[in-house]
Every structure is written in structure tokens, then in C-alpha cells.
Structure 1
Amino acid sequence: MATQKTFLVLSALGEDHPGIVDRLSKAILDQGCSIEDSRMTVLGGDFAAILLIEGKWNTLAKVENVLPELERQLGLTITSKRTGERERSGNNIPYAVDVVAMDHPGIVHNLAGFFADRGINIEDMATNTYAAAHTGTPMFAVHMTVGIPADTHIATLREEFMDYCDGLNLDAVLEPLKA
């Protein structure tokens, strides 16, 4: 009988400086746990991280116990929450969504609304702004992974999505996620 894994989701936010990832990962390893999944980046002048830490219930408790000292030493705000394994829905098909447009407010909200209205879950999302080559025009890019229910007619969804994006002057692609 397979035992269910136990996890701790940890989020950390604070002023960026060298050594944060080293100190966080060492503290997790020292308590007998491992980082199973993570997203870390610098946003503005701040470091931001979300980590999924795997361990036995007692080793996760050790990680929880060292968090206040890590907060103090690293100048971070750290929160954590216990969680279990993700229940996989066998009827969702992963698709990649890429959108690029001239930057303006509401792009993420509009895309999120399109998928929410159709019962499609956004499972991962990254956005960034940049200056267009040659013109310097402010641009906005979104990359998402969505879980599309298997009973969805993909050609119809793709057509609706492309029409929706055309109406908002967004260049978009919706395609199966390549493993």
C-alpha cells in the first residue's frame, strides 16, 4: 500500500539579495525535507518564491519551526500551509496558451474570465512586460497552462478563443502542451 506524501506550501517575499535561495534550500534540506516544485523570481526589487516542500509530517514540523528565524535572518515575510497530494482529474487535457499584445490594463482579467466562463482551470501562468524591438512600444506577454475538460470540442473552443482575442487585439495561440 503506497503512503500518501505530505507537503508544505511555503511562500516567501522580501527585498532581493544574493543568497536567499541558498539559505532557504539549506534550511529545508537540514530538516530532512526536499523541494518538490517551486517558482522563484524577482519582481521589482523584491524576491518572491512559492515552494512545495515534501517530507514526513515530523520533518515538515521542523521546517515550520525554523521559519520565524529564517524570516528574521533573510528579511522575508514567510507563510506556510500544509497540503496533500494533488488529485489528478483524468478528464483534463493540458493546453498551452500564449498571448502577446501592446500592454494595457485588463489583459489577465479578460483571459481569466474567458476560461472561467467555460469551466477551464488555469493551472500555471507567467506574465511579463518588455519593450518591442525597434519601436520600444510597451508589450505584454502571457503564458498559461490550462486544463481543458476532455469532453470539450477543441476546434470550437479554439475558434471562440481566437475570435475573443481578435476582438481585444491580442495575438494568441492555443495548442496542446508539449511534454
Structure 2
Amino acid sequence: MSTQKTYLVLSALGEDQPGIVNRLSRVILEHGCSIEDSRMTVLGDDFAAILLVQGKWNTLAKIENLLPELQRQLGLTIISKRTGERKQVGNKIPYIVDVVAMDHPGIVNNLASFFAERDINIEDMSTNTYPAPHTGTPMFSVHMTIGIPADTHIATLREEFMDYCDGLNLDAVLEPFKGEFA
């Protein structure tokens, strides 16, 4: 008997309203499935969610069949895609990156370019804008989890990264991840 899990990725987007998470999670639970991983937030006036739902292939099919009705009821656009278990690619060391700067275009692209050029995968990322206390200056923050190849010399990478961020006037931290890493 196969022990491979079956997954469905759901992406939902629509006008924010109370009860969306309750309704989505209830449908998943009622069909014998579970949410293994998710990101949910309000962006502007809209609710956005990405959920990794785990279940038997037939229970996932039932959820897929319900999606048009669920979209209509909740006023959401929902996209689904079957996926498998994440495969571990190489030996990666998890690190956290936190960056804060005055808001300006290109911060995410600059950081992504720095890591891509070094074959470092961005595993998770969130960004936020906010007014600085007292001055109201628009600020931008980035928090990411990255997977650094095990053969990378961390001290050299940290020095290159800090120099890179200094050149862009970004206040940055690169430190080991202290939790569970996918």
C-alpha cells in the first residue's frame, strides 16, 4: 500500500469579508481533508489565500468539484492544482533574512537577484509597508526563509550580503533559522 500523500493547492482571491477562512476550512474538514500549510492575508481590500490541502485522491476530487459553487457563494476566484510531496533537493541550510529600508522600487528584485546568482532558493517571503514612527516616512520590510547550499561558506556569504545591502542602503540581518524547515 502506498504511503505517498496526495495534495491539492488552492489559491483563493476576492473581496475581503468575515467568515471566508471559516467557510473554506469547514469545506475541507467536512470532506475528510486537512490543511497542511497555508498563507492567508488581506492585501488592499482583497483576501488572498494559498492552501496546501492533504487528503485521499477521491476526497480531493470532491473538493475540486465543489469549487465552482464555493466561488459563487464566497465571491472568490479559486484556482486548484494537484501536487505531490515536496522533494528535498540537495543539502540546504535554512537561514532567515530580514531587511528594512525606506520604501523604494526594486528592493525585492535586488534581494532575489543576489540570492539567485548564488543558487540560493527563497523558500518563503513576506513583505510589508508601513509609516515610520514619529516621521511617517514610508518604510518597507522583507522577511524571508532561504535554503543555502551546504557547501557555501556562510561567513563569506554573510559578508557579501551585508556589503550588498549597505550599498543599497538596506538594513539587513542574515541568521540561522531556528525552527522546522521544509
TM-score, length basis structure 2 = 0.97
Distance 1:79 1:124 in 2: 20
What stretches of structure 1 move > 4 A for 4+ residues in a row?
Answer: none
Residue segments in structure 1 that go unaligned for 5+ positions in a row? none
CA deviation vs aligned residue, 1:83-111 (integer Å, no higher than 9, x gap): 00001235100000000000000000000
Q: Which amino acid aligns with 1:61?
A: A
- Whether 1:75 aligns to 2:99 is no
Q: Which amino acid aligns with 2:35?
A: I
**What's the counterpart of residue 62 of structure 1?**
62
Distance 1:40 1:96 in 2: 20
Query: Which of 23-32 and 37-46 deviates more?
Result: 23-32
Residue 151 of structure 1 and its aligned partner are, at CA, apart by 0.1
**What's the counterpart of residue 40 of structure 1?**
40
Residue 30 of structure 1 and its aligned partner are, at CA, apart by 1.3
Residue 2 of structure 1 and its aligned partner are, at CA, apart by 5.9
Residue segments in structure 2 that go unaligned for 5+ positions in a row? none
**Percent identical residues:** 83
Residue 34 of structure 1 and its aligned partner are, at CA, apart by 0.6
**What's the counterpart of residue 103 of structure 2?**
103
Distance 2:170 2:154 in 1: 20
- Alignment partner of 1:157: what SS? helix
CA deviation vs aligned residue, 1:11-65 (integer Å, no higher than 9, x gap): 0000000010010001111111110110000000000000000000000001100
- Alignment partner of 2:109: what SS? helix
Q: Which residues in structure 2 correspond to 1:86-165 (within 5 Å)?
A: 86-89=86-89, 91-165=91-165
Distance 1:144 1:25 in 2: 26
Distance 2:73 2:82 in 1: 23
**What's the counterpart of residue 14 of structure 1?**
14
Distance 1:87 1:143 in 2: 24
**What's the counterpart of residue 30 of structure 1?**
30
Count, aligned residues? 179
